[in-house]
A and B are shown apart, each in its own frame.
Chain A
């Protein structure tokens, strides 16, 4: 259990460190203030994983440093029962000239293990790292993957109550990563909590139970990862919008309480429907059938180069498929002021039976993937697409049906 209350951290920016001393001695101000964290509070319960997202300079790293005790906050309290170990300090104090085993002792001591504890655990650590006899070789002979394996192995065996993870776990090959993920799952199952900082939104949505969004040191929102990620993306759109009329978060009352929808108010959304190929409204679709998603709106002004996007996501918020007319190289006619329009997306749904959520967006003038001059409207999870099993289709594993044909034939000239 980790309880963080009202953490603030102000960095004083000095021209040179000597100015700090001058300031103390002369009682004169020689610095500029930079507020890295402003009254941030949250809680991470046992076994819970909290994701921290935010743009560069939002205060994520400062927060991690405060949690690990490297930086001291100006105000606020942190309550942690148990040891905190950061995966950001993987391999801290490793010395290339010394053997893996000697480094287990150094790094292990640094992350708070006693000598006895290391004596007891070193064999488990070596076994987990799968370094075998290499453990008696200097680390300089290791590949970077081997070094990371050893470092992770020490960290996970230090028995922390809380892990601080900065960015994705790039530990060794795919096989070892799987092994690490399993170990981390065990750690969570046994009540360990994780604080996870990442720019990988899919990782945050799949790994975390909750997430917080930081912006310029302030905690903007706390909630389930998918809604926090949506809010984050919407805020980025708001920032990169260059249209005359500003794009802003929509009032939650109008949008089924989804707090991350954005609009400039220049597109008036009317309705969205899910239809089958014969254009009748349906409540669910059979896997592999064709559907039409159709929404209507009114344009309040001239939109020169409109782009229509659609995104299908699973219940965790992970994208299954998304595209837009810009990416499809489809040029649309300009939208005229005061006119009603209907946009229909028609496609097959080769998806595993489940509930999927539909997001639609209208933008103006595309520049690149997910980058436009104007973000006119984005409605997150505006409709649910319920996919049920299609009795005509075979069972399969995974997300999508790739419709394979499988051939088996005897090789006549085969040598055995």
Chain B
């Protein structure tokens, strides 16, 4: 019974992710097309407003598109990250109608969010790359590493989301705290600004921000066209793995209560 559980659950994750993605636009005429239209419009707005209208430039760069690319390269993965963490943190309450009726493997349940957000991410990324192609942006070979960085980022998001998800079952207020926390975290991560403009003190604090590892990796690959720092990335990977292990340990202790409380 337990042996086949893993395979069956995988198809459940895929089915949930698919539904999650389709549901957003179900009933609308353009349907799936909206998931292309939104990011396209957003990216264009950022590029045009910051690049040409406001004339924002990156320090040490002359390209008109430089700041727009910098912003989007950080914002798109950050959005995937935030959505994954936030939605995972409420997944057990959101999917209550299923969990209280059918036996569902709880630790793997947030994976459908990871998957669904990944679809959005890669669609947006594709559009972004398309626009870059049109603007004559020079692509660095390091861009091939984007999926690797993305996997590390989502592993971290899953570890964090799963942890919060368990706690939110007991402490419902926590989901508001998560929302606010993610806002603050956003501003403590160099996404709209550049790390080097910060005072040294702030830099020394921000260096401990795990999100800095992957956000600056995207900046390296897209904007600065250099190899991302694998030291920080592997550090985040290590933290994520430890956190996942801790999550499982905690889950084994709390599973009975979680199922009773949902």
Instruction: Report A's interface with B, CB cutoff 8 A.
Output: 11-12, 17-18, 20-21, 68-72, 74, 80-83, 86, 88-89, 92-93, 95, 97-98, 105-106, 109-115
Contacts and interface: CB of A to CB of B under 8 A. Distances in A.
A106 B101 contact: no
Nearest to B95: A93
Contact of B261 (A17, A92, A93, A114): A17
Contact of A114 (B7, B27, B259): B7
Interface string B25-50: 01100000000000000000000000
A33 to B, nearest CB: 12
Contacts of B100: 70
B27 A74 contact: no
Given A17-B170, A71-B259, A112-B8, A92 B102 contact: yes
B23 A70 contact: no
Contact of A95 (B23, B102, B257): B23
A61 to B, nearest CB: 11
Given A20-B257, A106-B19, A112-B8, A70 B99 contact: yes
A92 B171 contact: no
B133 interface: no
B15 A106 contact: yes
**Consensus secondary structure, chain B interface:** helix
Interface of B: 1, 7-8, 11-12, 15, 19, 22-23, 26-27, 97-104, 167, 169-173, 255-257, 259-261
B218 to A, nearest CB: 34
Given A70-B103, A89-B101, A114-B11, 15 more contacts: A17-B169, A68-B102, A70-B99, A70-B100, A71-B260, A74-B256, A81-B1, A83-B1, A86-B102, A92-B97, A92-B102, A97-B23, A105-B15, A110-B15, A112-B8
B30 to A, nearest CB: 15
Given A70-B101, A92-B102, A110-B102, A18 B260 contact: no
Contact of B101 (A92, A97, A98, A113): A92
B98 A97 contact: no
B50 to A, nearest CB: 38
Contacts of B104: 110
Given A89-B101, A97-B23, A109-B11, A80 B170 contact: no
Contacts of A71: 259-260
Contacts of B7: 114
B238 to A, nearest CB: 27
B15 A18 contact: no
B142 to A, nearest CB: 37
A92 B1 CA distance: 21
